[in-house]
Chain A
C-alpha cells in the first residue's frame, strides 16, 4: 500500500518447496571440503561458520558431522591463556567466536570437557564500567557483544558472574527515538542489533523494560510487499532478517504481526535448487549463514520438516530444554 521504494519482485520460477536434502548436502559438503576457496577464505570466522553449518544440520535433523572432529576443531580455537576462543587455530580470542564455540560444544554435548570458569572469566573481564562489553582486548563496543556475553554465560550457567543490571542499562541506552536499537548509543536502529538487545533482555529476564508494541511495530514494518524482511527502512529484503526480525518478534510475542505465508514464500524463493542452500535473496549466491537463518526462520514459523529452534539462542529447542534453560519468551497474543 505504501508505495515502497525498495523491494524485489519474485519471479514465476522460484523454488516453492523446502529442498530439504539439497540443503543437507550443501551444508555437509561446505563443512567438510577443507581445500575449497570458501573454506580457506573463511578461516577468520570459522568457529561461527561451523556453528552455522552444525545448527542448520541439526534443524534438518541430521547428525552426520562427526562430533569428535568438531570437538577437536573447537578446542584448536581455544586460547588457554585468556580463556576465550578465536575463529580458528592461532586466531586471537574474541567474544563472537567464544559464543560460537560454546554453542557448538553444547550441541555435541561436551560442555563438561572444558574449563568453564576460565571461559566465564574471559567474558566477564570484557565488561566495561558502563555495562557494555568489548569484543576483545582491542576495545570495540557493540550490543552484539552484550548478546554474545549473556548467551555464553547462560549456557555455562554463570550469568550472575557479570553485572547483569549494568549490562541491561547499557542496552537500554542504545534504544533510539524509533523504539528500536543500534550497536552503541545513538547509532541507527538495525534489526540485527534489535535481535541482540531483545535476546539479551530475554536472557536477563527484563523484557518488561521494552516498549513492546512500539518495537514490534518497527519490526513488522520491516516486511515488504515481496514478503521479505529488511533490516532498516528503505533497504532491500534479506533472508537473514527472517531470523533477526522474526526471532525478536517471537521473543516479544508478536509474530502474528507479520504476514507469514508471504515471508515463507520469500524465504523458499531464496533457495538455490541446483546447489542447495539459501542466499540473501532470490537468485543470489548461497552461503551457510543465510542457510541457517532461512531454515531457522521457517522452523520458527512451524515448518514440520524441521526441528524446533529456540528464538533466543538459535539452537535446537530440544537442546535448550535439556540444558534446563528457561529464557523469557512472551506468549503470542492478539
Chain B
C-alpha cells in the first residue's frame, strides 16, 4: 500500500517500530500552546521532526513518501516537502496514476494552494498524461468559478496540448451559470486568440455574443471589456458595428446606470468626432460616478484641449 490508511487514532512516528532506525531532528522551538492545540502541535512536531531527519539523510523510499503525505497534510503550503516528494517519485520511478489521485484529492481540499497545482503540472510534464485535466479544473471551478489556479492550469493544459475544441462551449456553460464571471470572459478571449483567431466573422459573432450578455446585465464590466478589447486589439472602428452603438444608445436613453454604457458611448462619439455629445456624457459621469470624478474630469479636459 502506497498511501496512508487513516486510523482513528493518530500514529506517532516516534512510537512506530518501522521508524525506529531514524533519529528525529527536533523543530527549533518549544511548544507552549494552550491545551486545546497540544494534540495538533504534537503531531506536527512528530511528523516534521521525522521529515527533517529523512531529508537530511536524503532517503527516497516508500516510507519517506508516506511521511510526506503526513507532512503535506500538516502544512500543505510547505513547498520544500513537495519538492522532496517529487524527488522521491523520480527516484522510485513510480507509476504516477496514484499520485495524480493524491494530488486531485489535495486540490479538492485546498483549491487555492499554489504548491499542489504546481505539483500537478510537474506530474503531467513527467507523465505526459493530460487526459484528466479538463475534468479536474471543471470540477474545481464548479466549486469556485474564479479560482485563479484552476484557470491558470486549464489554460496551460489547453495551450500546451492543443486541446481547444471544447473550450468555447465550456465558457458558454459557465456564463449561463454566472454571466458576471470575469475569468470565463478572459478564457474566451484567450481561446479565440490562440485557436481560430479574429477573422471578421469571428469578430462579428463575438461582438454579438458580448452584446447579448450586455443586454442581460448592462452594468457588468466583463462583456464591455471584452467587446472593447476585441475592437481595440483588431484596430477596428465602432462605426463598423452600428449595432453596438444602437445598443449603447438605447441603454443610455433608458437611463440604465452603468459606467460602461456611458463610457463606450462616449468613445463612439469621440470616434465620430462628435465632441459635444461625448463631453456631455463626461459631465454626467462626474456626478453619477462621483467616486471617479477625477477620471471623468480628465476625459473631459482631454477633449476640451484637443
Tell whether, in the assembled complex, residue B222 and residue A259 are in contact, meaning their CB atoms are under 8 Å apart.
no
A234 at the B interface (CB under 8 A): yes
Q: Is B257 an interface residue (CB 8 A)?
A: yes
Q: Which residues 1-42 in A have Cβ within 8 Å of B in the complex?
A: 1-5, 34-37, 39-41
Contact with B along A161-192 (1 / 0, CB 8 A): 00000000000000011100011101111100
Q: Does B44 lie within 8 Å of A1, measured CB to CB?
A: no
Interface of B is mostly: helix
Q: 0/1 per residue, B170-197, Cβ < 8 Å to A?
A: 0000000000111100110110011000
A217 partner residues in chain B, CB cutoff 8 A: 295
CB-defined contacts of A4 to chain B, threshold 8 Å = 219
- Does B96 sit within 8 A of A, measured CB to CB? no
Interface 1/0s, chain B 20-39, versus A by CB < 8 A?
00000001111111000100
What are the residues of chain A within 8 A of B91 when measuring CB–CB? none
Contacts A89-B28, A177-B233, A217-B295 given; indicate if A186 touches B79 (C-beta within 8 A).
no
CA distance A1 to B255 in the complex (A): 11
Q: Which of B60-68, B130-138, B246-254, B285-293 contacts A (4 or more CB under 8 A)?
A: B285-293
With a cutoff of 8 Å between Cβ atoms, the chain B residues found around residue A43 in the complex are 75, 78
B80 touches A91 (CB 8 A): yes
Q: How far is the CA of A135 from the CA of B152 in the complex (A)?
A: 16
> Is B155 among interface residues, defined by CB-CB distance under 8 A?
yes
Is B79 a contact of A94 with CB atoms below 8 Å?
Answer: yes
Q: Are B148 and A2 in contact (CB under 8 A)?
A: no
Distance A58 CA – B92 CA, assembled complex (angstroms): 49
In terms of DSSP, what is the predominant structure of the interface of chain A? loop
B41 at the interface (CB under 8 A from A): yes
Chain A residues with Cβ under 8 A from B148's Cβ?
183, 187-188, 190
Tell me, in angstroms, the Cα distance from A86 to B182 when the chains sit together: 35
Residues on the B chain within 8 Å of A334, using CB: 294, 297-298, 301
Of B122, B159, B180, the contact of A5 (CB 8 Å cutoff): B180
Q: Does B215 have its Cβ within 8 Å of any Cβ on chain A?
A: no
B106 within 8 A of A: no
Which of A37, A87, A177, A186 meets B155, CB within 8 Å? A186
> Would you call A3 and B257 a contact (CB within 8 A)?
yes
Collect the chain A residues with CB atoms within 8 Å of residue B298's CB: 213, 257, 334
**Interface pair A177/B78, CB less than 8 Å apart:** no
Alpha-carbon separation in the docked complex, A39 to B79 (Å): 16
A180 to B, closest residue via Cβ: B225
Do A92 and B295 have beta carbons less than 8 Å apart?
no
Set of chain B residues within 8 Å of A262, measured between Cβ atoms: 291
A246 CB → nearest B CB, Å: 14
Residues of B with C-beta under 8 A to A183? 148, 152
Q: A2-B219, A41-B75 are in contact. Are A184 and B230 (CB under 8 A)?
A: no
Which of A3, A213, A227 is packed against the most chain B CB atoms within 10 Å? A3
**Interface hits, A232-262 → B, CB 8 Å:** 232-235, 256-259, 262
Interface string of B277-306 (1 = CB under 8 A from A): 000000000001111111101100100000
Tell me if B291 and A176 are in contact (CB < 8 A): no
Interface status of B220 (Cβ within 8 A of chain A): yes
Is B122 a contact partner of A234 (Cβ separation < 8 A)?
no
**A138 neighbours in B (Cβ, 8 Å):** 83, 86, 118, 122
Chain B residues, CB < 8 A from A216: 295
Verify if B229 is at the interface (C-beta below 8 Å from A). Answer: yes
What are 16 A-B contacts defined by CB distance under 8 Å? A1-B290, A2-B259, A43-B75, A44-B78, A87-B79, A92-B83, A140-B121, A178-B229, A182-B186, A184-B152, A186-B190, A186-B194, A188-B151, A190-B148, A221-B259, A234-B222
Chain B interface residues toward A at CB < 8 A: 27-33, 37, 41, 44, 52, 55, 75, 77-80, 83, 86, 118, 121-122, 146, 148, 151-152, 155-156, 159, 180-183, 186-187, 189-190, 193-194, 219-222, 225-226, 229-230, 232-233, 257-260, 288-295, 297-298, 301
- Chain A contact residues, CB within 8 Å of chain B: 1-5, 34-37, 39-41, 43-45, 86-87, 89-92, 94, 138-140, 176-178, 182-184, 186-190, 213, 216-218, 220-221, 223, 225, 227, 232-235, 256-259, 262, 334
Please provide the 7 A-B residue pairs with the shortest distance between their CB atoms, ordered closest to farther.
Answer: A177-B229, A188-B186, A178-B225, A186-B190, A233-B221, A233-B182, A259-B291
